[in-house]
Structure 1
């Protein structure tokens, strides 16, 4: 018996000394005593013990030799357990219990447990874990249980390793975005658990700002959480109003599900339920989102959005919206109480990965719909004033860099004039410049004629136009126009003449037209009538030229405390060209008013491809481009030798021409331009066109120059533009550059989806406010004007467009921010649009108030909702919309 006891002692010492090994329990033929000491019945006296030990040794040795076979017990575990402890490990052989003390840790399959004390019962395969207390009786550590992605912290843990069932007390754990605290949590399987007296929230603080309390809750891992009646509490204060039940999706990826609506109210549309819908997830490549807006006056809007994405292949997005608006008639011009308007909008975007088919590409960006669609959208001031829509579908193919083909279908429409233009299709084919006289195995620089290059570019265009208010297929076909143009340039590369680059060129161009337009004076109606002749017509033109370019540099040193060097770069260009008059036969004179005044027109004016200009040209083209920058010491460099460059003016200059063969109007128009970025914050671009000749009272050009040096008059400005934009922001609180952060965009989103996300952010700025930046301000100003011929040909009139837009916000306190955006029509001195917002940072919640007092629709919206996407539908929303327009 003594050897067996000795083996038991050695086994216990092994567990105590090495508490970091794999433990596998077996049913042995020899059972250990219940106590960890030698039984009293075996201790008669010392002499007897020695004698018995000798006898017992022989007997035991013979027994062991016959029965030293280990059999795996039925109640043993099916995988090893890795364990460790900083204090000790105790094995109670009689009850087959094993205890770990001091930061104990065990791992079994995908289960991991950490606690101050862990007890394992091999007979029942129950594991129990307990925490520890400090000297004052407060919790020092709590047991932690980890299975897969689920981690929980509890006061105590009991777990059955055979059935995967367990029970915990006062448990804290996170499932997806939800943080749960349950007084009692029962785990019935690896994926399901029931909670009693639970509190759940999306706030990650130890003491959450808000939570929902429920008596019962079921959690299915990575699927959903289901609760009974739940009542919210804020800062620990319970609210008397709750929800009858809750269903919270816990999926890691996209899944089909219901989309909760929001309530709104409008004077024109009535009470509304907006955004109600369902999301269908068909597979990993295709999904569909359906939404609907329903209004009490009978109007509705239905939206279908489907995305088809295959990584490394293509992304495609189709969006279809149908509006059936029924608006209250408040204008008083109609007997009907309501006005019904039907409209639609189609948005399709498609882009193919360049790696899918090298050498070819296909992309689409289609935005086509009714011209009244944007005006009938509620709470979207940016889209309400979007009057231009355009679309493009492109296919390109390249043949090893020698030839390339592109086929395009384009569309554009103006929501003000309601004119729609369709280009179906436009085909472009180009031949990259090749050198027919160049040898394949060239040695040296080669002969001059070997540098002659020939290219080709051609395109075919087709266009249809119609007004959506009077759409008719026959009328639309009557507007069909088509045309083509072919251009063959011939170039010669000559060596540089020192600093001057010389480039001669020859080009031949031919244009095809599907119609000719004639204007004739109608003496009876006292107006100009227009007639169209359809057929196949051609026109040709040739040009010869040579151009010279160079660059001149100059510097000027400013004497000051810090040496500053101004560097001026001048890029003059000069060209000589000759173009014979091959288009004179296509021009004619027509009377335009009752006084007999005549103007000259081309047969191809107003076509999809413009006609060639009349008259021979043999003259000079000239221009000057400038760059002005300054070099100064970099004060941030400790050595004092480093310098940095600052661009004072990015570019400014002019270009014009002089026709040596013209008997009048020889001097061409002057095009002036300038662009600069001042102080790295103010962007300025400007340009204007100056006609050097004077005009009569009716707008006819006169042969005399409009130049008067005394009055500083150097011509007549015919058009011009000016754009100024800037943005300022304070330094951020975290010490970064203070620039406003961009809205995060999924790189796998289609361009249309990205644009829609940006539009949503602009329409709801309170939900995308960066509290890290105390204040921001953006300003922009644009001015465009032009002198155009009046419709009755009686003279010219000036058309001017000028506007100012602003956008900014500032922090009232660390948690409150106020901002706004708007646009001003300078010409009419009218504020076209103004939107303001105020938002409150509430850590896990947000309060946003958006107000639009000026615009196509006046509206306000108040929203309080959690930031977490899983509880975003649990929001308090109040919105009203008022219309300024009369439909």
Structure 2
């Protein structure tokens, strides 16, 4: 016992007493697994649960929130019975984890390709070699990264070579913020950071800053920055500023700024810079463009303001002002209600001055123009549609549009407002429209209001309600109806008056009832009988009479309701014939000819013969026949004479199969279309007194070698003519003087285009996906009509700015030749009108960066070059330069433009244009 000292014995007694005092009333309780983020072992209660009545519900789990960690703590009621038997006394376990205040809200994930060093005492993590660090929406990749756990600051550093040049920069991404820097210091806790020598992009703008401070996920401040739209490391041009603030996707504001080119500063300073970066619609000022004009003087064009009123409505106001005192203003409101309708309007006023007051040639002209485009979504009201396309205004408006020769010589304006209604489950269709046509040259305006049409689709009255089995032939008997009513008012804008409108009012109506029957095919032959009844309602009758005193024809009118009608009966036959001729031991494998003959028997009684009369047309007593319904809105009625005869025609196409030397197997045989279609059609009237054989319509269309488009048509007359050129009842090959007849009308047109292969196939595909002029013409959104028209006008005035440098050369040629025999104005005979022209355009790259192009129009008849334009263009990467000259034409012009390609800086272009009019 001497080994046990009293001190050790006393200490042991004290420890046992203290532990017994702590655990005298203690009980063991299970800890809920929900209080841990993850469990190392499966949660299991080792204390057996007492039997409980199944009818009693388990108490709900109360929810608590830890204010220190902002976490939800779920506490579970103790499953061990409480020793306190007092009813309602439930003991709750309040055990929970507390998170430190300086803990991050989310874990930081990191990885490194080379190595990772963890310095435990310093609480630092060092990453080397293609590292990647992610925290919430932040992603950072860099060659070297250091993470300080105490300060929550991550530092990323770029690697350099032995000469000190940067090899790989640190790359930072957070939401829409993306930039590359030499050094990045970012605080995960405050979401702020400082970077040095940083490159970033905002829309089309590239920004470089020596020092950038990021204060949140959208806003950055830049010290000693440079911004440009050139995407090179050393840009061709830039704007330098000491202070710049950028709010991502909204705006960039700078302090005093000066431009530089090729690193050389330009001594031009701007007090501040304002660069909108937001996408979508936003209100703002529209900058003007400087221009000069001989007639209007020096001016500013396009200055205005764009205002977004709400989600469905916006307004654009633009104006032009010139030094001679002229001005113009255009107000363009647009509206849109999704799934219902959309449209735009355009109100333009012109106040044009020539010279100054007191000058003998002083002139003041006030004009206006109205445009309206509206369309209704078909899903709004199925079966009903409404559309409007209005272009109206002063007849001299286009003449005084500055610097736009294409509009100056546009003499036709047209408008249309249409409404249509289809009845569901019924074959009825109603169309109402109002049309407007205006000739700015003659100043004649035609208004058609209303223009109504009503149609009934083909009905089959003998068809059974329930189609069972093969239908009978008579069940395919169909009958339909189509009718129209039209009212038109014509007047000159200088003679506008209400009385004059009533005098020039014309109206008319037409009705047509077709009856068709589809008979079963008889082998390869298709037979289709038809019956048709037509009737027109006309407003006036006209009568011509020779005046021996004035030696002219006098015209008299009588107004009222007059009718003319016509019936026709027909029986048509058509089929197709195929023929193939094989070749052996030849690269020409086969020729294939397809012939489609048509033949019909027709009869039409003469119901209009009493509406024709003969009149002396000259002092020799020569007579011609006229219709008393000539000059009506619905035409001159129906033609005179009965018709009982046949109509016939043949349509052909020709193809060949060609063996290729390069390919083998099925790919060796290639099909080539030689002639897409050629043929004729005519008729023979057995009941006519003379000229029974009708004229022959000849046609030909083909695409030769898939390069040359060829179209030709002609009208052949097989009869001889008298001294006045009128056909007589004698074939051309009869009697003395053998002749094959004459061609009274003919036309032929050819067009082709050639171009080299693109330099860069990827760039060529991208340009093919972009819309061309034809695609722009198919734009149907009324909200884009005004912008589309402005773009098309600009492209026509400045074709040099839209040169494709990816195509080394291209050539386009087109030729047209036509003639027509028309009666002379005094009815003394016929005269032949001949026209022929040649159009050409080409583009040739002198060097990869220089392009030369020309286009023109040559009149073969007058042997004069009507229009010729040439331009030279320079590709300057982020800028473009074009010089265009039009030395020949109704208008001559000179144009020089140098401008950046970016849409943000499009108003910084330098333009010098001069127009010389010759009219």
The TM-score with structure 1 as length reference comes to 0.85
Report the 3-state secondary structure (helix = DSSP H, G, I; strand = E; otherwise coil) of the residue aligned with 2:904. Answer: helix
Which residue among 767, 791, 794 is the counterpart of 2:801?
A: 767
- Structure 1 position 196 matched with structure 2 position 220: no
Report the 3-state secondary structure (helix = DSSP H, G, I; strand = E; otherwise coil) of the residue aligned with 1:515. Answer: strand
- Structure 1 position 575 matched with structure 2 position 609: no
Which residue among 322, 329, 336 is the counterpart of 2:360?
A: 336
Report the 3-state secondary structure (helix = DSSP H, G, I; strand = E; otherwise coil) of the residue aligned with 2:892. Answer: strand
Task: Show the counterpart of 2:289.
Answer: 262
- Structure 1 position 90 matched with structure 2 position 106: no
Unmatched 5+ residue regions in structure 2?
A: 1-65, 70-93
Report the 3-state secondary structure (helix = DSSP H, G, I; strand = E; otherwise coil) of the residue aligned with 1:282. Answer: strand
Distance 1:322 1:628 in 2: 58
Inter-CA distance 570–795: structure 2 relative to 1 (3 Å threshold): same
1:620-639 correspondence to structure 2 within 5 Å? 620-635=646-661, 637-639=663-665
Inter-CA distance 438–215: structure 2 relative to 1 (3 Å threshold): same
Task: Show the counterpart of 2:453.
Answer: 428
Which residue among 167, 173, 183 is the counterpart of 2:200?
A: 173
Task: Show the counterpart of 1:359.
Answer: 383
Whether the aligned pair in 1 keeps the contact of 2:714 and 2:747 (CA below 8 Å) is yes
- Structure 1 position 308 matched with structure 2 position 308: no
Whether the aligned pair in 1 keeps the contact of 2:306 and 2:314 (CA below 8 Å) is yes
- Structure 1 position 860 matched with structure 2 position 894: yes
Which residue among 822, 830, 843 is the counterpart of 2:877?
A: 843
Which residue among 275, 292, 312 is the counterpart of 2:319?
A: 292
Inter-CA distance 287–857: structure 2 relative to 1 (3 Å threshold): farther
Report the 3-state secondary structure (helix = DSSP H, G, I; strand = E; otherwise coil) of the residue aligned with 1:714. Answer: coil
Report the 3-state secondary structure (helix = DSSP H, G, I; strand = E; otherwise coil) of the residue aligned with 1:450. Answer: helix
Whether the aligned pair in 2 keeps the contact of 1:432 and 1:456 (CA below 8 Å) is yes
Distance 1:599 1:160 in 2: 100
Distance 2:688 2:763 in 1: 59
1:228-627 correspondence to structure 2 within 5 Å? 228-310=255-337, 312-327=339-354, 336-399=360-423, 400=425, 402-557=427-582, 561-610=586-635, 611-627=637-653
1:747-804 Cα shifts (integer Å, max 9, x gaps) = 6744845465344323322222111111112222333433333333333333344333
Inter-CA distance 70–569: structure 2 relative to 1 (3 Å threshold): closer
Shift of 1:312: 4.9
1:683-698 correspondence to structure 2 within 5 Å? 683-698=709-724
- Structure 1 position 803 matched with structure 2 position 829: no
Distance 1:526 1:106 in 2: 102
| Range that drifts further, 286-295 or 611-620 | 286-295
Distance 2:148 2:667 in 1: 77
1:77-96 Cα shifts (integer Å, max 9, x gaps) = 44443344452253555x6x
Whether the aligned pair in 2 keeps the contact of 1:767 and 1:848 (CA below 8 Å) is yes
Distance 2:192 2:283 in 1: 30
Report the 3-state secondary structure (helix = DSSP H, G, I; strand = E; otherwise coil) of the residue aligned with 1:762. Answer: helix
Shift of 1:201: 0.8
- Structure 1 position 757 matched with structure 2 position 785: no
Number of positions where the alignment pairs a residue of Structure 1 with one of Structure 2: 817
Distance 2:367 2:819 in 1: 34
Inter-CA distance 194–295: structure 2 relative to 1 (3 Å threshold): same
1:645-684 correspondence to structure 2 within 5 Å? 645-684=671-710
Whether the aligned pair in 2 keeps the contact of 1:419 and 1:467 (CA below 8 Å) is yes
- Structure 1 position 114 matched with structure 2 position 141: yes
Shift of 1:410: 2.9
- Structure 1 position 785 matched with structure 2 position 831: no
Distance 2:495 2:146 in 1: 85
Distance 1:867 1:304 in 2: 28
1:550-579 Cα shifts (integer Å, max 9, x gaps) = 222233345663033222222222211111
Distance 1:413 1:763 in 2: 25
Whether the aligned pair in 1 keeps the contact of 2:594 and 2:654 (CA below 8 Å) is yes
| Range that drifts further, 634-643 or 265-274 | 634-643
Shift of 1:634: 4.5
Task: Show the counterpart of 1:34.
Answer: none
Task: Show the counterpart of 1:207.
Answer: 234
Inter-CA distance 231–704: structure 2 relative to 1 (3 Å threshold): same
Task: Show the counterpart of 1:822.
Answer: 856
Task: Show the counterpart of 2:755.
Answer: 729
Q: Which has the larger radius of gyration?
A: 2
Task: Show the counterpart of 1:187.
Answer: 214
Whether the aligned pair in 2 keeps the contact of 1:730 and 1:738 (CA below 8 Å) is no
Distance 1:123 1:133 in 2: 29
Relative contact order, higher structure (CA 8 A, sep 6+): 1
Shift of 1:70: 5.7
1:690-728 Cα shifts (integer Å, max 9, x gaps) = 344444444554333444799774334333332222211
Whether the aligned pair in 2 keeps the contact of 1:265 and 1:881 (CA below 8 Å) is no
Distance 2:707 2:520 in 1: 42
| Range that drifts further, 543-552 or 783-792 | 783-792
Inter-CA distance 133–444: structure 2 relative to 1 (3 Å threshold): closer
Distance 2:246 2:311 in 1: 25
Report the 3-state secondary structure (helix = DSSP H, G, I; strand = E; otherwise coil) of the residue aligned with 2:794. Answer: helix
Shift of 1:137: 4.6
Inter-CA distance 642–427: structure 2 relative to 1 (3 Å threshold): farther
The TM-score with structure 2 as length reference comes to 0.82
Distance 2:684 2:763 in 1: 51
Whether the aligned pair in 1 keeps the contact of 2:293 and 2:403 (CA below 8 Å) is no
Whether the aligned pair in 2 keeps the contact of 1:633 and 1:640 (CA below 8 Å) is no
Distance 2:742 2:241 in 1: 79
Shift of 1:448: 3.9
1:379-436 Cα shifts (integer Å, max 9, x gaps) = 4444444444333333333334723232333333444434333322322222222221
1:579-632 Cα shifts (integer Å, max 9, x gaps) = 111112222222323333332221211212121111111112122222122222
Distance 2:106 2:346 in 1: 54
Task: Show the counterpart of 2:81.
Answer: none
Whether the aligned pair in 1 keeps the contact of 2:176 and 2:248 (CA below 8 Å) is no
Report the 3-state secondary structure (helix = DSSP H, G, I; strand = E; otherwise coil) of the residue aligned with 2:502. Answer: helix
Inter-CA distance 326–690: structure 2 relative to 1 (3 Å threshold): farther
Shift of 1:149: 0.8
Whether the aligned pair in 2 keeps the contact of 1:811 and 1:818 (CA below 8 Å) is yes
Distance 1:863 1:150 in 2: 35
Report the 3-state secondary structure (helix = DSSP H, G, I; strand = E; otherwise coil) of the residue aligned with 2:801. Answer: helix
1:641-680 Cα shifts (integer Å, max 9, x gaps) = 6532222221122222222112123222222222111111
Report the 3-state secondary structure (helix = DSSP H, G, I; strand = E; otherwise coil) of the residue aligned with 1:869. Answer: coil
Report the 3-state secondary structure (helix = DSSP H, G, I; strand = E; otherwise coil) of the residue aligned with 1:818. Answer: strand
Inter-CA distance 72–527: structure 2 relative to 1 (3 Å threshold): same
1:441-492 Cα shifts (integer Å, max 9, x gaps) = 3444444433322111111122222334544443233222111111111122
Whether the aligned pair in 2 keeps the contact of 1:76 and 1:122 (CA below 8 Å) is no
Whether the aligned pair in 1 keeps the contact of 2:887 and 2:893 (CA below 8 Å) is yes
| Range that drifts further, 689-698 or 212-221 | 689-698
| Range that drifts further, 807-816 or 517-526 | 517-526
Shift of 1:838: 1.7
